[in-house]
Chain A
Amino acid sequence: MAPWLVRTSSQLVRRAARRLLSPSQHRRHRAPAPWKLCSVPPVPRTTSPAAGGGLWEFCSVRRFTGDSSPAAASTAEDGLAGGELELDFPGGKVSFVAEMNFLPESQKERINCYRVLDDDGRTVSGSKFQEVSKEMALKMYSEMVTLQIMDTIFYEAQRQGRISFYLTSHGEEAINIASAAALSIDDIVLPQYREPGVLLWRGFTLQEFANQCFGNSLDYGKGRQMPIHYGSNRLNYFTVSSPIATQLPHAVGAAYSLKMDKKEACAITYFGDGGTSEGDFHAALNFAAVMEAPVIFFCRNNGWAISTPTAEQFRSDGAVVRGQAYGMRSIRVDGNDALAVYSAVHIAREMAITEGRPILVEALTYRVGHHSTSDDSTKYRPVDEIEHWRTARDPISRYRKWVQGNGWWSDSDESELRNSVRQELLQAIQVAERMPKPPLTELFTDVYDEIPSNLREQERLLRDAIKKHPADYPADVRV
């Protein structure tokens, strides 16, 4: 387990052990406490007879619809049994108990993490996953490599002052590409900002990425946004928006509209561990469950929200445990395992569409790069922690081992791919840099559907000013 994961969970274990094993030290001079810590009874597991062919085990959680089926009878140790000691309450019958049992703040064990490939890129024995064809597998691999190279080169371009800002997805290439591969083009994507790989998968070209970063006249955003705020109507990828987690309720609304139109598609929205603290996270998950909206909530738990580690972000066991609080099915997956991410999103999508329900997917991963070009993460986290995840836990090399192990990829393929992507990128940057910026008219369009009279007036005044003082106006921006 990764150093930072081990630290957090061992802290929990130590604290729990202290409380459970030495109560006398805490309550030396008090009467024995009238309550005890109640361990949540294990939920019976049943293999679903329906979809997936036994690919996943469905944790049988009751849906409290208020029907008359009795709640699970209290066990003997509580001293009560039988139907007459129940409360008929909206949502279903509730059994009474004579002792105060506080649900513990955390389970004894953390929620398990689904993985398919081990660290050496071999499928774990007994693992169940969605098979991929050789063609799909290779496309996934080459897009992961492309994303990695794109990030490296654009980051360097920012450092050279050629673009004003950039942020990388280093360490999260499997999340980006594998989740995108499991979706259909009709599924609506509402990203946060660390998911350009989804756009890459869908066919956004390196030139189109470069145009947006340079804000030139070919940018679909007409130079209105900072770099990495990509968007494409054609590819069903909503323009990146800076405020954190606002895309979550948007995704529920988009999903609801898909449901109303009876489309065979879902919405998916991505967010980080930090995003789960926003009010919008709570509102969106609750709403999605109540409205039964077909949306996948994909949490990239990468350990850091700029400089805030997860230990200071929440006290719950990550994001996955929160799903049940909203009545939502959830799963935790190894975010650096491309096949695990692919399988989980594939099944989540099926559930969301056929059952009309939201699903929460938490992918455990690590943000290898700095938060953005405005950040130096060595100031708040140890360099060896970054190095460990960058090398030993790299999702690309792990997946590469699996692909090569199948005889589908060779070292020469690798160098050929990396060279050609690099060349294409450098070319795209050169072209984008030389492209003129958007013309002056575009300053005033799109505020409203039609340009209002006050903006026409302002444009006229601006053009007059430029005519009078041409030397004060940049020569390379078209009027």
Chain B
Amino acid sequence: MMCSIQITKGLLDKYGPDRVLDTPITEAGFTGIAVGAAYQGLRPVVEFMTFNFSMQAIDHIINSAAKSNYMSAGQISVPIVFRGPNGAAAGVGAQHSQCYAAWYAHVPGLKVLAPYSAEDARGLLKSAIRDPDPVVFLENELLYGESFPISAEVLDSSFSLPIGKAKIEREGKDITITAYSKMVGYALQAAEILSKEGISAEVINLRSIRPLDRAAINASVRKTNRLVTLEEGFPQHGVGSEICMSVVEESFEYLDAPVERIAGADVPMPYAANLERMAVPQVDDIVRAAKRACYRAAPMAATA
């Protein structure tokens, strides 16, 4: 409902002011109102300028949206979508850069999606809007400017992608790398570098953080026997922790090496460009982690 990045450009002309609303500035207010409208049977799509500001509305997302179907025993369903840019952009500091995938994926009652490519964005958003449950749709500001090749099938108006299914972006046999959003692109670049060194990496684009496609992740690890989890967000209690646990629970005996976790630095995002660069994973971090999992790296000093 507020956008400086022009994602909703043209929607006002197409659907009119009754359906595309500019609102007073209150995340708590417009999220609450959208939830109330969803209670009544509408299918609202709420836009946060970034998910950092969804913190001001988190009570309505969790207590009014996520839990309502359960608490009302199915009497109140909330077919709502919360969308907007998530995670780091470039030079915007701590209050504009946090990744909220782990926060929202923690909550039963919510579905959490993270598109990477244009095909993901189109197909997943359509499914999100049609889904009867509340969906958190985590986009990425830097990906808005990136172009992706798409097929005619994707351009068809009925195209949609199922929620809860990951995509194997690149097949491989030596190591599995899981990623979502912008990190998928980084993982693909790392896979290219690794292939030149004789390591064939399989890159999984998670697409859906909750529900997590545990079947696809475990099938891949049973094939490759090694895993690197990759995310931009903070490491503690992050998405990678859950993926690692899922693999330990279901495919422990298939692992030939400890699971490697690549995440952002455990600090609020600094502003200075050189510090910011060091606070998010870079392609060489991914390559190094993959090599460690393949026992091809120099031994590392134990960290405190």
Q: Are A188 and B40 in contact (CB under 8 A)?
A: yes
Q: Are A257 and B71 in contact (CB under 8 A)?
A: no
* Interface positions of A (Cβ within 8 A of B): 188, 190, 219-222, 224-225, 229, 231-233, 238-239, 241-243, 246, 248-254, 256-258, 260, 279-280, 282-284, 286-287, 290-291, 442, 445-449, 452-454
In whole angstroms, what is the CA distance A182 to B40 when docked?
22
Minimal beta-carbon separation of B288 from chain A (angstroms): 33
Q: How many A-B residue pairs have CB under 8 A?
A: 144
In whole angstroms, what is the CA distance A251 to B75 when docked?
17
B31: A residues at CB distance < 8 A: 249
In whole angstroms, what is the CA distance A290 to B249 when docked?
53
In whole angstroms, what is the CA distance A258 to B42 when docked?
10
A-B contact pairs, 12 of them (CB 8 A): A188-B40, A241-B63, A249-B30, A250-B33, A253-B36, A253-B37, A256-B37, A283-B32, A446-B72, A447-B109, A449-B132, A454-B211
B71: A residues at CB distance < 8 A: 221, 224-225, 229, 239, 241
Q: Are B33 and A448 in contact (CB under 8 A)?
A: no
- Asked whether B222 is an interface residue with its Cβ less than 8 Å from the other chain, the reply is no
Taking each of A224, A231, A251, A253, which has the highest tally of chain B beta carbons within 10 Å of its own beta carbon?
Answer: A253
Q: Are A246 and B29 in contact (CB under 8 A)?
A: no
Interface size class of B (residues with CB under 8 A): 35 or more
Q: Are A256 and B109 in contact (CB under 8 A)?
A: no
Q: Are B24 and A287 in contact (CB under 8 A)?
A: yes
* Residues 16-52 of B contacting A (Cβ, < 8 Å): 18, 21, 23-24, 26, 28-42, 44
* Residues 231-254 of B contacting A (Cβ, < 8 Å): none
Q: Are B40 and A254 in contact (CB under 8 A)?
A: yes
The 8 closest A-B pairs by CB, nearest first: A283-B29, A249-B32, A253-B36, A250-B36, A253-B37, A253-B33, A222-B73, A257-B40
With A249-B32, A252-B33, A290-B24 as known contacts, state yes or no: A239 contacts B60, CB within 8 Å: no
Q: Are A231 and B23 in contact (CB under 8 A)?
A: no
- Asked whether B198 is an interface residue with its Cβ less than 8 Å from the other chain, the reply is no
Q: Are A257 and B70 in contact (CB under 8 A)?
A: no
Partner of B26, one of A220, A222, A286, A449: A286
Minimal beta-carbon separation of A267 from chain B (angstroms): 8
Partner of B70, one of A224, A249, A453: A224
B69: A residues at CB distance < 8 A: 446-449
- Asked whether B133 is an interface residue with its Cβ less than 8 Å from the other chain, the reply is yes
* Interface positions of B (Cβ within 8 A of A): 18, 21, 23-24, 26, 28-42, 44, 59-60, 63-64, 68-77, 108-109, 111, 131-133, 164, 211, 214
Residue ID in chain B nearest A245 by CB atoms = B32
Taking each of B29, B44, B131, B133, which has the highest tally of chain A beta carbons within 10 Å of its own beta carbon?
Answer: B29
With A239-B76, A250-B39 as known contacts, state yes or no: A287 contacts B59, CB within 8 Å: no
Q: Are A231 and B76 in contact (CB under 8 A)?
A: yes
Partner of B36, one of A190, A224, A449: A190
Extra contacts besides A239-B76, A260-B18 (16): CB < 8 Å: A188-B40, A231-B75, A233-B75, A239-B68, A239-B75, A241-B68, A243-B63, A246-B63, A248-B32, A250-B32, A250-B39, A254-B40, A283-B26, A287-B24, A291-B33, A448-B109
B44: A residues at CB distance < 8 A: 253
Q: Are A239 and B72 in contact (CB under 8 A)?
A: yes
A249: B residues at CB distance < 8 A: 28-33, 35-36, 60
Q: Are A448 and B32 in contact (CB under 8 A)?
A: no
Q: Are B74 and A446 in contact (CB under 8 A)?
A: yes
With A221-B73, A246-B59, A287-B23 as known contacts, state yes or no: A280 contacts B36, CB within 8 Å: no
Q: Are A449 and B77 in contact (CB under 8 A)?
A: yes
B164: A residues at CB distance < 8 A: 452
With A241-B64, A282-B26, A454-B211 as known contacts, state yes or no: A254 contacts B36, CB within 8 Å: yes
Partner of A252, one of B36, B38, B59: B36
Minimal beta-carbon separation of A366 from chain B (angstroms): 29
Minimal beta-carbon separation of A237 from chain B (angstroms): 10
